Chains A and B, each alone.
Chain A
Amino acid sequence: MKARLHSHTDLGGFGVAETTTNSTATDAPAPSRRDFIHIAAGAAGAVGAAMVVWPFIDQMNPAADTLSFASIEVDLSSVAEGQQIQTLWRGKPMFIRHRTADEIARAEADDKAPDLKDPATDDSRLLQSNGQPGKREFLILLASCTHLGCVPTFAAGDYGGWFCPCHGSHYDTSGRIRKGPAPKNLVVAPYVYLSDTTIKIG
């Protein structure tokens, strides 16, 4: 206490602290000019440290060139009915499936099935990213099982769609999760039709 008051005198006083030595009533002294400088310097130091740390954290985020690979174009005319192609988009595998009439019928018939874990109609899974309806024949999906990311195989499993061998998830012909540990449907990739037979993904 003495030392504090002493320091006020040194600094020429700031008019904030008590000026009397017998302050037995209050144990905590009022903040002095030195306290203020300590807090201000500490705060400036902390902000400065955070500003230096941030570039070192942010550098690990996807780089500009990685982000620029973010869209690809695919020619659908090369995918025959009943066939599916797998490509990589942003390094992730994708399914582009040209569905048969039978697959479409099965998918639509199951729109209201009670065992849908993540209910969605087949139509809603064909929407382009601009909100326009897509084509029923072409299902554009991310090929990552929503459980832990394995690539499911087609024409396996109990629902005529995909089956993930890793931990046994079954998806139907609309890519909806029907059975197994996966929590969600296969994700529909964001795509738009550029022409009748070309799509842009991303």
Chain B
Amino acid sequence: MSGPSTYDPKTGIEKWLDARLPIIRLAHDSFVSYPTPRNLNYFWTFGAILTFCLVTQIVTGIVLAMHYVPSIDHAFASVQRIERDVPYGWLIQNIHAVGASMFFLAVYIHMFRGLYYGSYKAPREVLWILGCVIYLLMVGTAFLGYTLPWGQMSFWGATVITNILGAVPVVGEPIKQWLMGGFSIDNPTLNRFFSLHYLLPFVIFGVTILHVWALHVSGQNNPAGVDVKSADDTVPFTPYATVKDLFALAVFLLMFAVFVFYMPDALGHADNYIPGNPLVTPPEIVPEWYLLPFYAILRAITFNIGPIDSKLGGVIAMFGAIAVLFVLPWLDTSKVRSMRYRPWAQRFFLVFVVACFALGWCGGQNPAKAVYQAGDYSQVVTYKAADGTEATRTFAAHTPEELAIAVRAWEQDNPGAEGKAAAVVEPFKFTVETFSQLLTAYYFAFFLIILPVLGLRETPRRVPDTIAKAVLDGSKAAAE
């Protein structure tokens, strides 16, 4: 794809270096003369944005590590010190904390882009899988990072997640102790989490190099999903892609800056400003927003599946939700890459995106909460009325707790009545739990049933022969 190198060293120094380490040639061929499909849209700028995010996290992270103290007695205070006392610490800490969210925002857009335009299909399977590896490493890194400030959410989030590992039969408990370096989340855990949180971003950096290498072997996919066939189909990376990437990055940075300067805590949880306390659990434990969909899938499995109990089932479903991405290239049977030409895939994809958002919402709610409740809880109490006859009285309230309070209050006001309460009648409820289960089912069905079957049954629209033709058709359609 890259073709013969067009780098032409001009000065003596360049020629000298080129004969010894052709690094300028590599950069020129990869980022200047590199041919990019001429029809790329703004979804193709997220690779550059992601690279920027990774570098930002590493630079700000190294600065934080100069001031952060990985000890359960000092970690919380040291982050407070960074935010209050260290010169510009408030800025760098905010960039790092907000940066994690921005990183995930960008990676999700990047992944949905790949999903929609079929960028995982041959010959880009390895490229896609390397991307999945990066995503998995990002999840690990963010989880480790979130424990470092040692707030209540840090502590209890780490406790809940490590307990999830304990669900694995036989080896779960030893693995848990091995990971924690003790019997609970404690100082040894914090120390190793810090060490690993420092390490993983550099592993991500390494895998990113492989990812870009694989990209430059197969070439970029494009919105039409057809292969590059001639020079007419491409434009050089510089200036076209460079400038487009920089413009998109500037817009992205604008949003990034709004969060950093005006609402640095909007994406975090208030409870993380309470120092971690192993004796008190916060009323609700939720992960950061970017992990909520997986948390919802974890909690959706509330039933045993054969010999697998619900807790282990949840763990399998959660990891399965990421694992399925790795094998996606072999699940989608359609020959057409871009969903732009697949009317049915397009619709199912749209529902899939909505389902992912809805799972995210569910992950932040109490599973017992009713999404929809048809009427009130009610209870009939039979009692002896003042005239000695038997009478009944019906109580109704929105929640069982309110109902119990109402009944008790009435009994206290009428001591002689000797009320006998019948069973509580529950209204029909559609709970967050049921909703999560439906969404989880769709999530897996999309990959395991819809994409494999659809590729065989669907009649795609006509795919343009070349990228150049797709562009011309597009501008003709726009002109009409």
- Chain B residues lying within 8 Å of A168, measured Cβ to Cβ, are 366, 368
**Distance A88 CA – B277 CA, assembled complex (angstroms):** 11
Chain B: interface residue total (CB-CB under 8 A): 31
Judge if A40 is at the interface, Cβ distance under 8 Å.
no
Which listed segment binds B: A1-9, A14-22, A89-97? A89-97
Judge if B367 is at the interface, Cβ distance under 8 Å.
yes
Q: Are B183 and A90 in contact (CB under 8 A)?
A: yes
A37-62 at interface with B (beta carbon < 8 Å): 57, 60-62
Known: A165-B281, A181-B302, A183-B310. A91 touches B184 (CB 8 A): yes
Q: Are B310 and A91 in contact (CB under 8 A)?
A: no
- Chain A residues lying within 8 Å of B367, measured Cβ to Cβ, are 167
**Distance A150 CA – B156 CA, assembled complex (angstroms):** 8
B309 to chain A, nearest CB (A): 6
B281 touches which of A57, A66, A150, A183 (Cβ 8 Å): A150
Q: Are A90 and B368 in contact (CB under 8 A)?
A: no
Known: A61-B177, A150-B156, A181-B310. A91 touches B185 (CB 8 A): yes
- A150: nearest chain-B partner, CB-CB: B281
**Distance A60 CA – B182 CA, assembled complex (angstroms):** 9
Judge if B96 is at the interface, Cβ distance under 8 Å.
no
Judge if B178 is at the interface, Cβ distance under 8 Å.
yes
Q: Are A93 and B278 in contact (CB under 8 A)?
A: yes
Contact with A along B242-271 (1 / 0, CB 8 A): 000000000000000000000000000000
Q: Are B283 and A165 in contact (CB under 8 A)?
A: yes
B264-304 at interface with A (beta carbon < 8 Å): 278-281, 283-285, 299, 302
Judge if B181 is at the interface, Cβ distance under 8 Å.
yes
Judge if A86 is at the interface, Cβ distance under 8 Å.
yes
- Chain B residues lying within 8 Å of A181, measured Cβ to Cβ, are 302, 310-311
Known: A66-B182, A167-B299, A168-B368. A183 touches B159 (CB 8 A): no
Q: Are A88 and B279 in contact (CB under 8 A)?
A: yes
- Chain B residues lying within 8 Å of A60, measured Cβ to Cβ, are 178-179, 181, 192
Contact with B along A55-85 (1 / 0, CB 8 A): 0010011110010000000000000000000
B interface secondary structure, majority: loop
A121 to chain B, nearest CB (A): 23
Judge if B186 is at the interface, Cβ distance under 8 Å.
yes
**Distance A78 CA – B185 CA, assembled complex (angstroms):** 28
A31 to chain B, nearest CB (A): 36
- Chain A residues lying within 8 Å of B182, measured Cβ to Cβ, are 62, 66, 90-91
Contact with A along B166-199 (1 / 0, CB 8 A): 0000000000011101111110100010000000
- Chain B residues lying within 8 Å of A167, measured Cβ to Cβ, are 299, 367
Judge if A28 is at the interface, Cβ distance under 8 Å.
no
**Distance A149 CA – B183 CA, assembled complex (angstroms):** 12
**Distance A108 CA – B231 CA, assembled complex (angstroms):** 84
- A87: nearest chain-B partner, CB-CB: B279
Judge if A107 is at the interface, Cβ distance under 8 Å.
no
Judge if A105 is at the interface, Cβ distance under 8 Å.
no
- Chain A residues lying within 8 Å of B186, measured Cβ to Cβ, are 66, 91
Contact with A along B140-164 (1 / 0, CB 8 A): 0000000000000000100110011
- B185: nearest chain-A partner, CB-CB: A91
Known: A60-B181, A62-B183. A93 touches B279 (CB 8 A): yes
Judge if A200 is at the interface, Cβ distance under 8 Å.
no
Judge if A151 is at the interface, Cβ distance under 8 Å.
yes
Known interface pairs A62-B183, A92-B183, A165-B284; 18 further A-B residue pairs with C-beta atoms within 8 A, sorted by A's residue number: A57-B178, A61-B178, A61-B181, A62-B177, A62-B182, A63-B188, A66-B188, A91-B183, A93-B279, A148-B160, A148-B163, A148-B285, A149-B163, A150-B156, A150-B160, A164-B281, A166-B160, A183-B309
7 of the cross-chain contacts (CB-CB < 8 Å) are A61-B177, A91-B183, A91-B184, A148-B159, A148-B164, A149-B160, A166-B281
